[in-house]
Structure 1
Amino acid sequence: MSEETTRYDASHIRVLEGWEAVRKRPGMYVGSTSERGLHNMVFEVADRAVNEVLAGRAGSVEVTLTPDGGVRVADDGPGVPVGEAQGTGGPELEALLTTMQTAAGPGGRHAVPLGFCGVGPFVVNALSRRMTAEVRRAGIRWAQEYARSVAVSPLSEAETATGCGTVIVFWPDADIFEAAEFSFDALAERFRELAFLNRALDISLIDRRRPGESRSARFRFPGGARDFVAFLDTEMAAHAPTETVAFELEDPRMAGVVEVALRWCGSHEERVRGFANSRPTIGGTHELGFRDGVAAAVTAYARERLLLKPTDPGLRADQFGEGLTAVVSVKLDHPEFKGPTRGVLGNPPVRTCVGQAVQEHLGTWLDGHPEHASAVFGRIQGTCQA
């Protein structure tokens, strides 16, 4: 090889910034260029609207899949500010949609993350062939249009308006997402989940892509985790030997709140769903604490009533799962996740706090409902002897 072909220096390095970097490596920002990536586009835009509702500044969010392949996200909040953004010289709305939004971490207990990595609607704009934004604020409707993250028109006063709110519509770029298509069911599952975990949330999903086949769903669940368990057990509700045990408790030792709902049904399956700051988890200290607490409560009940001999070992976490449906949700000021996907919660104090709370509340319920308690222990005994 010649010296020219082997030489590698700074002149060979190309630095990509802004929309160009996003379009070059879209999977880094939305997870993939398949259906999963499309869904994360929706979540990145809906993130701001959902948090407006949870902060009490808006009443509801509406997400619509439009006939022309677009997605419309609307809220009835105060409207994104349209004044000059500090340090940019342009409107705040334009800064929101054309500037990468970076966050130091997953946020505190009051922040509900929807997107893949919290980079904001700028990424959606960069990966869309077109985006429009409409803001109704202080009696005026403002509008602006973008193409692949570049404003093609200035933010302008369109007309007078009643009410307030923000509407963002985007059309994913087919050159990037090719044949991928939004799944109504997948989007509905995540929005339903968020509504169960956040009682103040009111969100609707509407599918108008196919004429004559429009469908919609509204998600609002004042019962929280209790409603979630009932939903998970819809088919088994008539065969539930126990009623639902549910509680919510703040514990300063873990700087957060735990909400738990559980019951045993006639199913042979175990359905335990864990969440940390409204993110689904595949394990972690909150789920370990839940299992510790259930084992301790049932063991204590059995020993008090001499259902276990003094020499018998206490129950293990793998002995009470058959037929158990539970939702374990913690919201922490400073969540610590293991790994970049944030699927496993690592905060050590959470295990103790959740375990003690579950043991106390389940233990009280077992003492006050002897017939149900007997059915639970009888089922566990059957499992242990099988």
Structure 2
Amino acid sequence: MTPLSSDYTARHLSVLEGLEAVRKRPGMYIGSTDSRGLMHCLWEIIDNSVDEALAGFGQSITVILHADGSVEIHDDGRGIPVDAEPKTGLSGVEVVFTKLHAGGKFGGGSYTASGGLHGVGASVVNALSARLDVYVDRGSKTYKMSFRRGEPGRFLDGKTISPTAEFEPFLDSSRLDVVGTTKRGVTGTRIRYWADRQIFTPDAKFSYEELETRARQTSFLVPGLRITLRDERRIPGTPGEAGPVEQVFQHDGGISEFAEFLAVDAAVTDVWRIHGSGRFKESVPVLDERGHSQMAEVERDCEVDIALRWGIGYETTMRSYVNIIATPKGGTHQSGFEQALLKTFRKVIEANARKLKAGNDKIEKDDVFAGLTAVLTVRLAEPQFEGQTKEILGTSAVKAIVAKVVEKEITARLNSTARADKAQSALLLEKVVAEMKSRISARVHKETQRRKNALETSSMPSKLADCRIDDPERSELFIVEGDSALGTAKLARSSDYQALLPIRGKILNVQKASVGDMLSNAECAALIQVVGAGSGRSFQLDARRYGKVILMTDADVDGAHIRTLLLTLFFRYMRPLVEAGRVYAAVPPLHRVEVINPGSKPNEMVYTYSENELHRLLAAMEKSGKRFKEPIQRYKGLGEMDAAQLAETTMDPRHRTLRRVRISEAESAERVFDLLMGSDVAPRKDFIVAGAATLDRDRIDA
């Protein structure tokens, strides 16, 4: 290997000029050159149009994904300036698309708050495009300029527009062509570009799903803005597979409507809207008359707008934005929100500890954020982000402003004497305290979640008939209905790996009960303790004590009711168990038919699981001339079977039938149960009235 030269002088240094630096190191500007970077370029152009709408200019944006791989963005904003920029002598269009750190968002008064901050968005996209065409409607004229990999010039197009068409760069001076006229007062910008495949990976492509999500999100954040998406690519597996597809997003309700859209559970509170603002000072570099940079102290305004609501679940959905730019990794605004929310709830609950029966335990962040759906937005001029991708807000003063606004508004809401606010606040505080108690209970339960010796199993409920092995993958927990079924099941089970837990009748309806009521219910608490993986947010699937949980209830209406109650409990508080396919329903038989065999051959026992199956069996026997003993046994409950019959039909893995409960089935069960036994009476009355005429009396098992 030839050694490198030891000479190292100034001639070895490289100076990258203008857009050359972008093409040499694209990852510095767009993060990566895969699909993520490709989408980031599209966001840069779209965000410029959104900033126009945010500033009050323009009401519609259209994004078209063309079949040739290009993408087109239209807006009806003011249009990019077409006059000459004084320092460079270039048109405003060329400055925007060829000069880094150039734009109208550096304190010139064009934008008070915007998403584009560094002046590199349009120019970076241009540098990384094989071709970019921009049309500007302004002053009753339509202007056009084209670029190839950042260089201005003209494409000599034939019948079709293509990035491979012959290109003539401007040699002496660049020109902004006038290509048409527009009606008076019509303004806007149209940009179409082809991403440069020399830069981006071959598999990089625009994601319609991401675009749809971002468009919907933006339409919520800018009320009244109309965003149209059109996909003409006909890519298999996408909504536009069969042909061009178009979607329109427009939401006038703002972030309140966004919070409702994001929420997945039934509401404990309405959507609470929080507004506020604050001022702060920061030192920023400014240019003096000679073009020299000097530090100067400026005063900034920060506007805070938050929509939040709590639901009965325990999942947390949080979205934070700065000038409508998403900050998925949070930042100072989100830190201020979280700290103020926890601090406020702690104060209010400590002040009402006796009334809420909160004890001396302190609530934690997870207790407050359980079931919370929140949309947090702040607007300020020139926010400081960590990196060009703008995923984390770094402006430190925002934290205190958001915290002050949240603490003031939430305190007022929780202490409000208005009837609606008072009722919702009481329910919310009860929920937070119940989450705290649930967390503490889960910590206690965790100590007994694994069986290691006989002393540990003694801490389990006395009615649990445990199995001998301690391998959660091989063990099974049967939840049986009543002590009579338990006695038979004990004789029918394989005690090596099958455990039994009896429940007494119908357990608590957890759909309309609080977390505290659920934990204080003996049957529910015993179930959570025996499963051993916690509940709610603290549930850990790997900590479960059994590989399968099997609901073994009678094959009648009451059995179905109990099974629905149990599924509701698992869905609400042990959902990962259902999602992992670990919850099953046993399928006990309804009938036993004793087929009489001729001669000394013993009679054959045939089990059927529905009335239709029984009728088919009897018809087949009559056709083949077989006889059966009368009367046919009809099981009304598991307790009517002897151990051998129960083992053969319901518990022995070699012969039994199990129905795995899918998450969709659990959701359906919860919806039906909420309708039939929830706290909301009106939908139930409508359901009964609507179905009364179609009721089949023979279906009632009485």
Give the TM-score of the pair, scaled to structure 2: 0.50
What's the CA shift for 1:170? 0.4
Whether 2:287 is the aligned partner of 1:287: answer no
Unaligned stretches of 5+ residues in structure 2: 155-174, 235-240, 281-299, 439-702
Give 3-state SS (helix, strand or coil) of 1:350's partner. Answer: helix
Counterpart position of 1:227:
257
Q: Is the 8 A contact 1:62 1:75 kept in 2?
A: yes
Superposed counterparts of 1:1-386, under 5 Å: 5-102=5-102, 110-113=112-115, 118-153=119-154, 154-162=175-183, 163-177=186-200, 178-199=202-223, 201-210=225-234, 212-233=242-263, 235-236=264-265, 239-252=266-279, 255-281=301-327, 282-299=329-346, 301-302=348-349, 303-304=351-352, 306-308=354-356, 312=360, 315-333=363-381, 335-337=383-385, 343-345=392-394, 346-347=396-397, 348-364=399-415, 368-369=419-420, 370-386=422-438
* Compared CA separation, residues 333 and 9, structure 1 to 2 (3 A): same
> Which amino acid in structure 2 is aligned with residue 353 of structure 1?
K
Report if the CA contact (8 A) 1:44-1:118 is conserved: no
Q: Distance in 2 between matches of 1:3 and 1:382?
A: 71
- Closer, same or farther: CA 317–104 of 1 in aligned 2, 3 Å: farther
**CA RMSD for the aligned pairs?**
3.1
Residue by residue over 1:294-326, the C-alpha shift from the partner in whole angstroms, topping out at 9 and shown as x without a partner, is: 345545554348424697355333322211111
Cα distance 1:9–1:160, how it changes in 2: closer, same or farther (>3 A)? same
Bigger Rg, which one: 2
Alpha-carbon distance between aligned partners in 2 of 1:338 and 1:307, rounded to the nearest angstrom: 45
Detail structure 1 runs of 4+ shifted over 6 Å in the superposition: 1-4, 103-109
**Cα contact 1:78–1:165 (8 A) shared by 2:** yes
CA 1:366 to 1:194, structure 2 compared with 1: closer, same or farther past 3 Å?
Answer: farther
Please give the alpha-carbon distance, in whole angstroms, between the structure 1 residues aligned to 2:258 and 2:376.
10
One-letter amino acid of the structure 2 residue matched with residue 343 of structure 1: I
Residue 127 of structure 1 and its aligned partner are, at CA, apart by: 0.8
Distance in 2 (CA, whole Å) between partners of 1:365 and 1:191 is 37
Deviation of 1:229 after TM superposition, in Å, equals 0.7
Letter in 2 for 1:196: F
Any idea what SS the aligned residue of 2:5 has?
helix
Name which of structure 1's ranges 289-298 and 79-88 shifts more when overlaid on structure 2.
289-298
For the 8 Å contact 1:293–1:359, the answer to whether it is kept is no
Paired with 1:98 and 1:334, the residues of 2 have a C-alpha distance of 22
Per chain length, whose mean CA-contact separation is higher, i.e. which structure has more relative contact order (CA < 8 Å, sep 6+)? 1
Deviates more, 1:102-111 or 1:133-142: 102-111
* Aligned residue identity for 2:379: K
Seen in structure 2, the aligned counterparts of structure 1 residues 287 and 48 have a Cα distance that, compared at 3 Å, is closer
Aligned-partner residue type, residue 49 of structure 1: S
- 1:134 partner letter: Y
- Shift in Å at residue 336 of structure 1? 4.6
- Decide which moves more: 323-332 or 98-107: 98-107
- Which ranges in structure 1 are unaligned for 5 or more consecutive residues? none
Note the alpha carbon deviations across 1:81-128, whole angstroms, 9 max, x for none: 32222233332212222222347999899423158x541311111111
Q: Is the 8 A contact 1:246 1:259 kept in 2?
A: yes
Distance 1:272 1:140, change over 3 A: closer
* Equivalent-residue separation in structure 2 for 1:200 and 1:118 (angstroms): 27
| Inter-partner Cα distance in structure 1 for 2:409 and 2:340 | 5
User: 1:324-381 CA distances to partner (integer Å, 9 max, x unpaired)?
Assistant: 1112222234645567755144325225423423433432558643433332223222
239-248 or 197-206: which moved more?
197-206
Task: Give % identity.
Answer: 32
Q: Which residue of 1 aligns with 2:663?
A: none
Distance 1:41 1:3, change over 3 A: closer
Alpha-carbon spacing, 1:337–1:68, altered in 2? closer, same or farther (3 Å): closer
Of 148-157 and 27-36, the range deviating more from structure 2: 148-157
Contact in 1 for aligned 2:340/2:406 (Cα 8 Å) = yes
Look up the equivalent residue of 1:354 and give its one-letter code. Answer: V
Which stretch shifts more, 105-114 or 218-227? 105-114
Alpha-carbon spacing, 1:293–1:158, altered in 2? closer, same or farther (3 Å): same
Report the TM-score when normalising by structure 1.
Answer: 0.86
Render the CA deviation track for 1:179-237: whole Å, top value 9, x for unaligned: 2000112123233333323335333222222273333333333322211211111x42x
Amino acid at match of 2:338: R
**Cα separation, 2, equivalents of 1:14 and 1:228:** 49
